[in-house]
Structure 1
Amino acid sequence: MTHPIQNFDVKGGPGHGRRNLPKIRAVLEAAGLDGFIIPHEDEYNNEYLPANAERLAWATGFTGSAGAAVVMRDRAAVLVDGRYTAQVRVQVDGELFEYADLVEQGIAGWIRDNAREGERIGYDPKLHSPDSLARIEEAANKAKAELVSLDKNVVDEAWEDQPAPPQAPVVPHPTEFAGEDHASKRERIAAAVKEDGADAAVITDPASIAWLLNIRGGDVDRSPLPLAWAILNRDASVDLFINERKLTDEARSHLGNEVAIRPEAEFAKGLKSLSGKTVRVDGSTASVWVFDQLEEAGARVQRKSDPVALPKACKNAAEIEGARQAHIRDGAAIVKFLHWLDTVAQSGEVDEITAAQTLEKFRTAIPELKDLSFETISGAGPNGAHPHYRVNTSTNLKLEKGSLYLVDSGGQYPDGTTDITRTVPIGTPTAQMRRHFTLVLKGHIALSRIRFPKGITGSQLDALARAPLWMAGFDYDHGTGHGVGSYLGVHEGPQRISKAQNSIALQPGMIVSNEPGYYKLGAYGIRIENLQVVTEPEEIPGGDRKMLGFETLTMAPIHTGLVDVTLLDAGEVAWLDAYHATVRERVGPRVEGEVRAWLDAATRPLTAATP
């Protein structure tokens, strides 16, 4: 297959606003509106958007992964978070748009502070969740403005050459990787829906639909998703609303008679058919439009979590074994890259884009690779201090001697999804770099080794990864761990490990990342990330309760040249040595020559390693 290549050019640009704002305002005037809200969302609440849904980029020129805009007839604002304060000023014309804060102010805050009495501001109900819209409505009311729900998106009306919706073929996901056929899954989830007193569940998350029906697609970059909606009935039948041109004969045969194929355009009719029934809908993934259709039809809405989310998160034996194999395969590519970083890149002349392209070259040599799992974070020196940095031609730095290089990347394989971060010294690291790295490593090891009882959530474990940093007066401002799918999204709920409260207990089969970090602004970033799976509860000798734990899936060395051994205790040294022995055992047979020799040296017992 042809592997998608990461594009490092800065797309978008100020010209978008100059060209397209007048078009948007012409539609507003014709519709009798004073403004329109443009979130960075699509109708499916995807993390990555297909080209036809990149409305924010078309309207403003901003191409970041999180943002929004409010376009009024005589003024406009673009809102981004702290990751994009520099990028937005390059891509969006400051004479046309006010720059605003997506986190502190948000769409609701901007409308509260800037909307004028009597103004009519339109929104697309398919692009807003009930909770987010409620905040915006409250702000509009305070400003004495009116929010107007629209049947047609203003940007779509103005966008003359808007790309067509994606039509990638739907392919069956083999049971050998899924571990359970879709008939069994449908019966299991439908039974839970019925037990909760509902007649049906509306499933709007494409990842949930892909998992439930054992199908994959290619409508979205970096996640193998077919875009569709579904209604799961209490008898385990499913109404699948999808562009039928995506369905091959093989896919139709795979879905069988209990999955009714209906045109995507009939989803509203399908929701209306639930009149008088109790319908389960997830308010965090379904749009306001879905709730409106059900309420207008007279359905009794049961607002509860997506019934697929938790079963999807708890991987079965086949999915766990698939993840192991995917990580070993991926680990070989990472080892080749780490060897390259320790040799060629030590010249000080390699730049971030070349490094990311080199890593992609190693990955695309793997026949099983389907895609990257996200855009590679390739951060040299001060750029590495931005946790979600995305290199482009305007920010590209060299991996200079005396600096640190941080790389966060992943791959999509039919049997698993990978996500790994490593930090590597270019030249000789300073004592301060080694100290900070070792504090991060201590937190990483603590979260790898912990045993915990049933019912514990990621929020309760988060402090373990931060404690060594806290004790030294440091912290990091992102979560410690996110869920990961099985050949699905690299970010998957409902579990997570973070300071933020989460009521979902960690359960056997859940895959989570373990990625503490430290970021010295203007200097360097450090992050160590492995994926790990929650293990079945086991007895501990001398204990009286069974305890769950973690098995590390990621297979690649942690750079011992950055480790200050004096800061580690005997148990931490033993963990790192045992981990490296496993990496050597599993990945070693997949590399040879200089790379194998480098791997043997990189995974020597820590006490024998040269700092």
Structure 2
Amino acid sequence: MDICNNAVTRITALSPTERLAALRARLLEAGVQGFIVPRSDEHLGEYVPPAGERLAWLTGFTGSAGMAIVLPDRAAVFTDGRYTLQVRDQTDPTLWECRHITEEPASAWLKAHAQDLAIGYDPWLLSVPAVERLAAPGVHFVALATNPLDAAWTDRPAAPMAAAVPHPLAYAGQSSADKRAEAAAALREAGEAAVVLADPHSAAWLLNIRGGDLDHTPLALGFAVLHADARVELFMAPEKVPAETRMHLGNQVVVRPREELPRALDALRSQRVRIDAETTPAWFTHWLREAGAEISPGEDPCRLPRACKNPVERDGARAAHRRDAAAMARFLCWFATEAPKGGLTEISAAAQLLAFRRQVPHFRAESFPAISGAGEHGAIVHYRVTPETNRGIAPDECYLIDSGAQFVDGTTDVTRTLWSGPGPAPARLKDRVTRVLKGHIALATTRFPAGVAGPHLDALARRPLWDAGLDYDHGTGHGVGSFLSVHEGPVAFSRAARIVPLREGMILSDEPGFYAAGEYGIRLENLLLVVPADLPQATKPFLCFETLTLAPFDRALIEPTLLTAAERDWLDTYHARVLAEVAPQVDDVTAAWLNIACAPL
């Protein structure tokens, strides 16, 4: 299966000023004075097809999280700490105010500037809780039947139409029939007739299908309704579901065009229907209530089971990371040779890593656009290089490369911060990198009782930076799917994350960092698998982490005197494992480089 390569951003005939003016004209026609433009599509996902890039089309901002609010006389873009630099670089300051969504929530901005105004929103693009979080005294929200931005976006791309294909049991580890039976049993136990699955990851996992509607996440976009008798109605363009996939789905799964969704929901009148409010567009709640159904709030029954990888998926993740490690080793060896000469650029470096990955068996696509940032660009947390921003990687500077791959048996995500050489790294930079490494090790080596959640552990990775009065403005780690999204809920290492206890089989990233605006960025990331801890003396079940990622850390940026004996032992043991597992997979030149890169401190 190929994952289609749709462009993330597009060139439009309208100027930024004309786009904003066109939207405002449509708002007048709709009878509202303002409009909310979230960074999401009808599935509320982080990654969207070109037809869903409404925020980028309107504002120029291409980050994966954000929101715009348009009023008659002003407009603002809100984003989090990952994108505060990027959003200012990509938007026109004469048109758009840039706001940190945590420090100045959109609700506060609306309260200050939208009194007595009617603010429209597309109920397909916001959940009910998202609308409620925007609530402000004196502001009236109106759910619009059609999206005025779509009417203004006259050259909007067509919706993606890649085929949905079976995900073999050899990689899925559990049949769709068994998954449907377990989820349906949970509905019956709760006294619910059905659940709406608006998140296409849930349908992909439940039905063991994948697709190519997004560049980096192997999804077939659609909606599903799971009934308490384990039947599924899959709402997707029928032409996207070939005969092989229909046979795979079986008789209990019926494929219907999306246009039949209203009629299917009408058939649930007088029945209890589960809605996961955070992951479901408000349109579903509005329609079901009008149809006379009883809304039963509850979590998507696929979300937690999907996060807890079964034994086959765990083995697949290990195998995928071993293969990915060979590509990473070849890249790091190549970089160590070429970077000191000068001549590399952010684009050429990322392209070389992708070229190495393409040679790895079972590779399907990058799991996200590589973040390839040299010098000051590394301080832009989710920097995405373009031909316009591409810069050379000079000798003797800091370079950050955050990348990953989609393999049919697993999803990878790894970040390394590198010194381009040939001279020594400055002592201050080594201090910062080593503190980030200490935080990384602290999280990777912790053992914790069952019931502990990601937010409880986030501070472990920050402590070495906090000791020096430093911090970073993003979470420490996110969940990762199994040949699905590289960002997967419901767990995360973050102060802002929900309290969801970590469970065996979950995969999360461990990626503390430090960013000096205008100078450099540091991030060190491995993926961790939650496994049982071997603690014979424990009085209750304990868990710990198995490191999946296998790539050496750049010794040129490590200050050994800042590491404790235990931290040095961890690093030496990790590097010995990298050498043992990766060297047999690579050429002699790379293997020789690994011998040096993985030598004990």
TM class by smaller structure: over 0.9
Shift of 1:236: 1.1
1:513 equivalent to 2:509? Answer: yes
Post-superposition Cα deviations, 1:343-385, rounded to whole Å, max 9, x if no partner, equal: 1012233221221111111112224211111111111122212
Equivalent residue in structure 2 for 1:449, among 445, 458, 466: 445
| 1:89-108 aligned within 5 A | 89=88, 91-108=90-107
Post-superposition Cα deviations, 1:384-404, rounded to whole Å, max 9, x if no partner, equal: 123222222333332223321
| 1:485-564 aligned within 5 A | 485-500=481-496, 502-540=498-536, 542-564=537-559
User: C-alpha distance in 2, partners of 1:514/1:61?
Assistant: 31
User: C-alpha distance in 2, partners of 1:525/1:60?
Assistant: 26
One-letter identity of the residue aligned with 2:429: M
Q: What is the DSSP-based 3-state SS (H/G/I as helix, E as strand, rest coil) of the residue aligned with 1:41? A: coil
Shift of 1:106: 4.2
Cα distance change, pair 292–531 in 1 and its aligned pair in 2 (3 A):
same
Q: What is the DSSP-based 3-state SS (H/G/I as helix, E as strand, rest coil) of the residue aligned with 1:596? A: helix
Cα distance change, pair 74–591 in 1 and its aligned pair in 2 (3 A):
same
Q: What is the DSSP-based 3-state SS (H/G/I as helix, E as strand, rest coil) of the residue aligned with 1:421? A: strand
One-letter identity of the residue aligned with 1:372: E
Moved more, 565-574 or 283-292: 565-574
| 1:36-435 aligned within 5 A | 36-73=35-72, 75-85=74-84, 87-89=86-88, 91-117=90-116, 119-136=117-134, 138-139=135-136, 142-143=137-138, 145-427=139-421, 428-435=424-431
TM-score, normalisation: structure 1: 0.93
Task: Determine the structure 2 residue equivalent to 1:609.
Answer: none
One-letter identity of the residue aligned with 2:531: T
Shift of 1:262: 1.3
Moved more, 478-487 or 78-87: 78-87
User: C-alpha distance in 2, partners of 1:545/1:122?
Assistant: 52
Shift of 1:285: 0.5
Q: What is the DSSP-based 3-state SS (H/G/I as helix, E as strand, rest coil) of the residue aligned with 1:573? A: helix
User: C-alpha distance in 1, partners of 2:60/2:521?
Assistant: 28
Cα distance change, pair 231–556 in 1 and its aligned pair in 2 (3 A):
same
One-letter identity of the residue aligned with 1:43: E
Equivalent residue in structure 2 for 1:599, among 563, 571, 594: 594
Cα distance change, pair 602–295 in 1 and its aligned pair in 2 (3 A):
same
One-letter identity of the residue aligned with 1:68: M
- Could you tell me whether the CA contact under 8 Å between 1:39 and 1:67 is conserved in 2? yes
- Could you tell me whether the CA contact under 8 Å between 1:382 and 1:521 is conserved in 2? yes
Q: What is the DSSP-based 3-state SS (H/G/I as helix, E as strand, rest coil) of the residue aligned with 1:525? A: strand
One-letter identity of the residue aligned with 2:127: S
Shift of 1:167: 0.6
User: C-alpha distance in 2, partners of 1:358/1:333?
Assistant: 10
- Could you tell me whether the CA contact under 8 Å between 1:12 and 1:62 is conserved in 2? no
Unaligned runs of 5+ in 1: 607-611
1:31 equivalent to 2:24? Answer: no
- Could you tell me whether the CA contact under 8 Å between 1:34 and 1:72 is conserved in 2? yes
Moved more, 414-423 or 63-72: 63-72
- Could you tell me whether the CA contact under 8 Å between 1:382 and 1:522 is conserved in 2? yes
- Could you tell me whether the CA contact under 8 Å between 2:4 and 2:162 is conserved in 1? no
Post-superposition Cα deviations, 1:393-446, rounded to whole Å, max 9, x if no partner, equal: 333332223321111100001000000011111222122222222222122112
Shift of 1:201: 1.2
One-letter identity of the residue aligned with 1:529: E
Cα distance change, pair 482–88 in 1 and its aligned pair in 2 (3 A):
closer
User: C-alpha distance in 2, partners of 1:307/1:228?
Assistant: 17
One-letter identity of the residue aligned with 1:38: V
User: C-alpha distance in 2, partners of 1:477/1:209?
Assistant: 33
- Could you tell me whether the CA contact under 8 Å between 1:172 and 1:215 is conserved in 2? yes
User: C-alpha distance in 2, partners of 1:443/1:208?
Assistant: 33
Equivalent residue in structure 1 for 2:463, among 451, 456, 467: 467
Shift of 1:539: 3.4
| 1:566-605 aligned within 5 A | 566-605=561-600
Post-superposition Cα deviations, 1:283-305, rounded to whole Å, max 9, x if no partner, equal: 11011111111111222211111
One-letter identity of the residue aligned with 1:574: D
Q: What is the DSSP-based 3-state SS (H/G/I as helix, E as strand, rest coil) of the residue aligned with 1:69? A: strand
One-letter identity of the residue aligned with 1:47: E
Q: Report the number of matched residues.
A: 599
User: C-alpha distance in 1, partners of 2:281/2:220?
Assistant: 18
User: C-alpha distance in 2, partners of 1:128/1:536?
Assistant: 38
Q: What is the DSSP-based 3-state SS (H/G/I as helix, E as strand, rest coil) of the residue aligned with 2:459? A: helix
Shift of 1:90: 5.1
- Could you tell me whether the CA contact under 8 Å between 1:539 and 1:545 is conserved in 2? no
Moved more, 376-385 or 85-94: 85-94
- Could you tell me whether the CA contact under 8 Å between 1:13 and 1:62 is conserved in 2? no
Cα distance change, pair 32–219 in 1 and its aligned pair in 2 (3 A):
same
Shift of 1:534: 0.6
Moved more, 83-92 or 58-67: 83-92
Post-superposition Cα deviations, 1:106-147, rounded to whole Å, max 9, x if no partner, equal: 443333222253x433211111111221233x32xx33x532
Q: What is the DSSP-based 3-state SS (H/G/I as helix, E as strand, rest coil) of the residue aligned with 2:492? A: strand
Q: What is the DSSP-based 3-state SS (H/G/I as helix, E as strand, rest coil) of the residue aligned with 1:532? A: strand
User: C-alpha distance in 2, partners of 1:553/1:589?
Assistant: 17
User: C-alpha distance in 1, partners of 2:14/2:85?
Assistant: 17
Shift of 1:486: 0.1
Q: What is the DSSP-based 3-state SS (H/G/I as helix, E as strand, rest coil) of the residue aligned with 2:279? A: coil
User: C-alpha distance in 1, partners of 2:157/2:30?
Assistant: 23
Moved more, 331-340 or 597-606: 597-606
One-letter identity of the residue aligned with 1:24: L
Q: Percent same amino acid among aligned pairs?
A: 48
- Could you tell me whether the CA contact under 8 Å between 1:13 and 1:90 is conserved in 2? no
Cα distance change, pair 129–329 in 1 and its aligned pair in 2 (3 A):
same
User: C-alpha distance in 1, partners of 2:190/2:264?
Assistant: 22
Cα distance change, pair 469–94 in 1 and its aligned pair in 2 (3 A):
closer
Post-superposition Cα deviations, 1:554-609, rounded to whole Å, max 9, x if no partner, equal: 11111222222222223222222221122112211211121111012111222xxx
Shift of 1:88: 4.3
Shift of 1:449: 1.6
Task: Determine the structure 1 residue equivalent to 2:15.
Answer: 16
- Could you tell me whether the CA contact under 8 Å between 2:3 and 2:218 is conserved in 1? no
Q: What is the DSSP-based 3-state SS (H/G/I as helix, E as strand, rest coil) of the residue aligned with 1:310? A: helix
Unaligned runs of 5+ in 2: none
Moved more, 377-386 or 84-93: 84-93
User: C-alpha distance in 1, partners of 2:161/2:256?
Assistant: 15
One-letter identity of the residue aligned with 1:218: G
Cα distance change, pair 569–107 in 1 and its aligned pair in 2 (3 A):
closer
